[in-house]
Amino acid sequence: MNHPKTRRDFFRHAACAAVGSLGMASAYRDLCLTAAAASPFNDYKALVCVFLYGGNDQGNMVIPRGSEYATYAAGRTGLAIPEAQLLPLNVLNTPGRTFGVHPAMTGLQGLFNQGRAAIISNVGPLLAPTTRDDYRNRRVALPPSLFSHDDQQVHWQTSIPDQPATTGWGGRVADLFAALGENPQVSSLLNISDTNIFQRGQSVAQFRIGTGGVISLSNMNATTTATLNRELALPYNNLFEDGYRYVVRKSLDNGALISSALAQVTPFTTVFPNTGLGRQMQMVARLIASRSRLDMRRQIFFVSQGGYDTHGPQLTAHHNLLAELSNAMTALYNATAEIGEQSNVTQFTASDFGRTHIFNGEGSDHGWGAHHFVVGGAVRGASIYGRFPNLTVNGPDDTSQGRWIPTVSVDEYSATLARWFGVSPGRLTDIFPYLGRFANPDLGFLVG
């Protein structure tokens, strides 16, 4: 290990090691904020973004049954799930049509049929409403680098796809609430996964927490801790040195506060799956259970699951991914119900894009529109929102190869979540600048 030689080196090493601390620029801006007014909220709500990295194959997650199954199967040679294996959905708002979900998704099937989950159909990045003719004749602007992983992840997480993105929509919501007076000691943007742009704000920055708890400075002992505390107590006239001091002090204080709150959480009777996503969801549940001790009225969580770029052998891999997803989301719902917060916590999935309907010989390739689950007690469940696509390859909803043109924009989907979370209708375009181009700023899948 390289040991710091100067006070400046000491702070640089400490700040870089303080994983979970606020970014220096954002944190130092916090020092300059005027003292906050009382919180604008007297209730509690949480959003949990479940990001599926790689592009989830929606075609084998939500599947038509009955008379429409033949069209599905005709285009999915090599990938089709037998109709008899599908888990049936009791959909309230699709008269004359029947649907099922992948056989690995027993938990989400149960929540859907209980009215605790909904499906948002054929969602995707758009700059404007787009038809097949629009796409083929380039009559409207299309999202940049349409089938690129990185670019579409940025679109989903920022809703500002055609200019350099510096903030995500979750970060902008937190910034808005901070300006209104919601300024808890601990960031409202809690990241249980990797650094992401969704939670990047201007005045509020994400705080990263591991599945086992607060991530502490490494190689610390009584001597180095005492040295660090002495250094942090010294005055610094240099703006940047003082900024480093602030970042490290804030990280240590917040880490101690969160650790203390987590230590007081009564263990859940809900059993979380021992998977990557299951462990992330368990930490989310513990942090929600700590909300009062942390004086939190709004929390935005980010968790993720990788492996969805299924160009290669797909059927077994996708089965395992969907089972992990379903079990983890169901466990979090059950845990929130256990503490009476199920109606105040909304989980929602997001992913780079959907996948092609046609088989590439082993799996599927990058697509466009996809289906997504929303879970929680505030969900108007047992329903499919948006228009389910016509699954005819080269049909009216296809660009080619079964890349469905979205009929619900990412902006409409995200704005519905933000509005439920407390963003007023008049401020939605501050968060989603292109929302006015689309017809449905509220898709209606959430109550309140």
Strand spans (E) along 359-406: 370-375, 384-385
Q: Given this model, what pLDDT does residue 11 score? A: 42
Q: Is the pLDDT of residue 15 over 50?
A: no
User: What mean pLDDT is predicted for residues 103-114?
Assistant: 98
Q: Given this model, what pLDDT does residue 218 score? A: 66
User: What mean pLDDT is predicted for residues 229-235?
Assistant: 81
Tens digit of each residue's pLDDT (9 = 90 or more) over 175-209: 999 999 998 889 999 999 988 999 999 999 899 99
C-alpha to C-alpha distances, 427 to 126, 181, 232, 415, 435, nearest whole angstrom: 21, 16, 40, 10, 11
Tens digit of each residue's pLDDT (9 = 90 or more) over 299-349: 999 999 999 999 999 999 999 999 999 999 999 999 999 999 999 999 999
pLDDT band per the 50, 70, 90 thresholds, residue 216: confident
Tens digit of each residue's pLDDT (9 = 90 or more) over 382-411: 999 999 999 999 999 999 999 999 999 999
pLDDT band per the 50, 70, 90 thresholds, residue 211: very high
Helix (H) or strand (E) segment spanning residue 90:
none
Q: Report the candidate in 415, 407, 333, 338 with the shortest Cα–Cα distance to residue 377.
A: 333
- Class for domain 46-220+274-437, per CATH? alpha beta
pLDDT band per the 50, 70, 90 thresholds, residue 110: very high
Mean pLDDT of the chain: 90
Tens digit of each residue's pLDDT (9 = 90 or more) over 248-281: 777 788 888 999 999 999 999 999 999 999 999 9
Per-residue tokens: 399: 């660009």
**DSSP SS3 for 350:** strand
Burial of residue 113 (CB within 10 Å: 0-12, 13-18, 19+) is middle
Cα Dmax for the chain: 74
Q: Is the pLDDT of residue 351 over 60?
A: yes
Q: Report the candidate in 102, 68, 65 with the shortest Cα–Cα distance to residue 87.
A: 102
User: What mean pLDDT is predicted for residues 210-230?
Assistant: 80
Q: Is the pLDDT of residue 30 over 50?
A: no
Cα distance between residue 47 and residue 376, in whole Å: 10
The domain limits of the chain are: 46-220+274-437
Q: Report the candidate in 299, 347, 357, 341 with the shortest Cα–Cα distance to residue 120.
A: 347
